[in-house]
Structures are given as structure tokens and as C-alpha cells.
Amino acid sequence: MRSVLNIFYVTYPSSFEKWTRNQFSIANKVWFDFFQHIPYEIVMKAVKQEISENRTNFAPSVGQIMFRVKELISVYDADSAWADVCYIVRTVDFEGIPAAVKGLDDISRQIITSRDIQRMKESAGALDKERPRFFAMYSKLKDTKEAEAVESGDLISISSNDRLLSLGAKQSELQIEMKQESEG
């Protein structure tokens, strides 16, 4: 975390011009508490992304970097999930609906049931009416799931091995997480 804070210090000097050594020490501990379960490489990618897109003269907050981390690692996407629901409604016959619903991601399955799909197939305009509710619920459930996963260090539950490895996480870090998950 010291590296992250040093990057912010150099990139946003006016944010830290009156800070004392003690304030830096406290900030380091706070940032470490939030990011201790996330591989360093992923945090650094999030920091670089935030800096490259930050249009203010102020250093990013923990929340801004955490948002970037989740954005990088999470496989959950409301637009893709809704597209899957629409595909089922438009193309799957009534007998195939239960199997198709099982193929939805776990967040979508908390929102949409086989009965919902059947109802939408039978009612003109049902997709348009259902869309806002789906997106609101998906967003809320996604945020909760991602926050819990990051806090517990269970990144695999919101990502995939391949995605985390492509972001620079080391295989050994992922194996530790998977081992803890299987023991729990």
C-alpha cells in the first residue's frame, strides 16, 4: 500500500501537501485493511486505470479504487445477463425453460424464475416492463456479492481463474483462495 500512496503523492501532490508522517502511516493502514485480500497486481492496475481517467486534481479515494478493482475482476454484467433472459423469452420453447433458467448466472437466477419467463412469453411488452426491475435488482445483488467477495478474499466467486491470471494475479495466490474455499 505504501507504493500506491507514493504514486498518489507524486501524481496528486496538492492532495498531500500538508500531511504529516503520522497521517501517511494511518492512511497506509486503512488502505491495507481494504485491499489486503486483493493481489497487488490487480490493485495496481486499478490505480493506473483510475489515474489515467481521473480528471480532477485530487487523489482517488479507497472507494474509487475498490470500484475499479471490482470492475476489473467481476464477471457479472447486467447487460449480458439481461440479454440472456431476453434470449430465453424469445427463443426457448416452454418445455426448455427450466433448463435454460438453470443456465443463467447465479444473480439472474435470484431474480428470474421459470414462471417469470413463461409469463413474459405470454404477455406482449413484458420484457420492456420487466427490464427496469431486473436491472435494479441485479445491480443491488451484484454490489452485495462483490463487496462480500472482496472483503473475504474470495475473488474466485466473482471472477474466474483465467480472468484473475490475465490481470496478473499469481497462480499461488489463487490456489490459496481455492484451498480456503474448499476447506470452508
Cell of 123: 404477455
Answer yes or no: do 66 and 157 share one domain. yes
Least confident residue range of 13-17, 62-66, 118-122, 163-167 = 163-167
- The pLDDT, as a whole number, for residue 173 is 63
Q: The pTM is what?
A: 0.77
Cell of 119: 409469463
Residue-wise pLDDT for 110-157, tens only, equals 999 999 999 999 998 999 999 999 999 999 999 999 999 888 888 888
Answer yes or no: do 31 and 65 share one domain. yes
Cell of 138: 441485479
The contacts of residue 58 (CB under 8 Å, 6+ apart) are 12, 14, 15
Residue count (the chain): 184
Answer yes or no: do 105 and 121 share one domain. yes
Determine contact, residues 55/24, Cβ cutoff 8 Å.
Answer: no
142: domain range? 78-148
Answer yes or no: do 123 and 158 share one domain. no
Cell of 166: 490475465
- The pLDDT, as a whole number, for residue 171 is 62
Answer yes or no: do 66 and 106 share one domain. no
Rounded average pLDDT over 52-77: 92
Q: Mean pLDDT score of the chain, rounded to an integer?
A: 89
Least confident residue range of 4-8, 147-151, 164-168, 178-182 = 178-182
Instruction: For residue 23, give Cα distances in angstroms to 19, 28, 64, 116.
Output: 6, 8, 20, 53
Answer yes or no: do 18 and 43 share one domain. yes
